[in-house]
Amino acid sequence: MRKQILSKLALVGVIALTAAGCSSGDGDGDGATPGEGGGGGDAITVGFAQTGSESGWRSANTESMKTAFSAENGFDLVFNAADNDPAAQIAAVRSFINQGVDAIVIAPIVEDGWDDVLQEAKDADIPVILEDRTVTASDDLYASWVGLDFTLEGQMAGEWAAETFTEPTTMVVLEGTTGSAPANNRADGFDAAIEGTPIEKIDSQTGDFTRDGGKSVMEGFLQKFGADGIDLVYAHNDDMALGAIEAIEAAGAEPGVDIKIVSIDAVRDGMQALVDGKINYIVECNPLLGDKAAALVKAVLAGETVDKRTIVEDQAFDQEAAKAALPDRTY
């Protein structure tokens, strides 16, 4: 099947990936489910291992990927969402290898633990594209990565905090999934940006990028420190920030006023909260990576040289910028 695909791609002259600027289905028992609308024998069969459906960002990312890897675009997608279980995600990738797919796309839940299965894909001559998140495995085990600069996102959020808070400030952090690239890098970027400022991080816990997780962790922070003991919340994504808003309001305080909030993602619900004054600043993490990932797959299978890293540019929003952007927001 691979030779037939490469021949077809060469004949039609697949367009090379152009330079660029950060879930929904469920797998079956063997870790994968066929994508909708098979593309037939000439289609490029791609296995996509998604993290899960933990947030609004992830749902938008999944939709972007399914649209890009559609039958209409010449693909037969085999989709799996691992419900944020790293072992289940690795099992799904092994299932893709056993099925003999033409290429594999992975949004890794965590950075570590990928060496063996990526080597198995390489031994099977199946190229791997990383999407959204990164891994600590050697970069010769995958063809390319497309995503966002998580460290820069954290830095941008931290720079806003450093400029905004010039007096002693107490801050709590809602971390993303432990061990994930965005959680690690957004923490590093933010911490570097506020170094030497009067902002004091008094606690930091994971909310697993979920709204319920953010609410639960924030409830614990409020019980521990009281609303008067917290000046700032740094949330690694909008869903956790939205959960924190619920907890703050339930405690009788006013989010965005009594307790300021800075977040990352810029999904519609988060942007609306920014417009409403409940969040104070948001750094974007663009989830619409499907077209770039699909272009990478076609280019790699055509034997073309591709960049090892493709970084999509992010924006940042205060309340006025959010008001201007929200009407045309697609996610």
Read off the tokens for 123. 């031994």
**Cα distances (angstroms) measured from residue 273 to each of 67, 201, 239, 244:** 28, 24, 11, 12
What number is the average pLDDT over the span 245-254?
A: 98
CA angle 286, 289, 295 (to 5 degrees): 150
Asked if the 150-285 domain carries CATH number 3.30.70.270, the reply is no
What number is the average pLDDT over the span 46-52?
A: 97
3-state helix, strand, coil in the chain (%, to 5): 45, 20, 35
Q: What pLDDT score was predicted for residue 330? A: 82
Model pLDDT for residues 191-228, shown as the tens digit of each residue: 999 999 999 999 999 999 999 999 999 999 999 999 99
Render 214-283 in DSSP notation, one character per residue.
Answer: HHHHHHHHHHHH-GGG--EEEESSHHHHHHHHHHHHHTT--BTTTBEEEEEE--HHHHHHHHTTSS-EEE
What number is the average pLDDT over the span 33-49?
A: 67
| Weakest mean pLDDT among 30-44, 256-270, 282-296, 297-311 | 30-44
Calpha distance 134→22 (Å, rounded): 11
Q: Which of 156, 144, 104 is nearest to 19 (CA)?
A: 144
Q: Does residue 23 have a pLDDT over 90?
A: no
Domains 2-148+287-313 and 150-285 share a fold: yes
CB 42 within 8 A of CB 76: no
Q: Does residue 2 have a pLDDT over 80?
A: no
Tell the CATH topology of 2-148+287-313.
Rossmann fold (3.40.50)
Q: Does residue 325 have a pLDDT over 50?
A: yes
Calpha distance 145→133 (Å, rounded): 8
Model pLDDT for residues 280-311, shown as the tens digit of each residue: 999 999 999 999 999 999 999 999 999 999 99
CB 188 within 8 A of CB 151: yes
Confidence of residue 117 (pLDDT cuts 50, 70, 90): very high
Residue for token digits 């938008």? 60
CB 195 within 8 A of CB 158: no
Q: Does residue 96 have a pLDDT over 80?
A: yes
Q: Does residue 35 have a pLDDT over 70?
A: no
Calpha distance 135→27 (Å, rounded): 22
Q: Does residue 19 have a pLDDT over 80?
A: no
**Cα distances (angstroms) measured from residue 68 to each of 40, 62, 237:** 17, 10, 24
**Containing H/E element for 9?**
helix 2-12
Higher-confidence residue: 17 or 94? 94
Give domain limits for the chain. 2-148+287-313, 150-285
The crossing angle, in degrees rounded to 10, of helices 181-194 and 150-164 is 30
Sheet containing strand 169-175, edge to edge, reads 199-206, 169-175, 232-235, 260-265, 281-284, 316-317
CB 74 within 8 A of CB 103: no
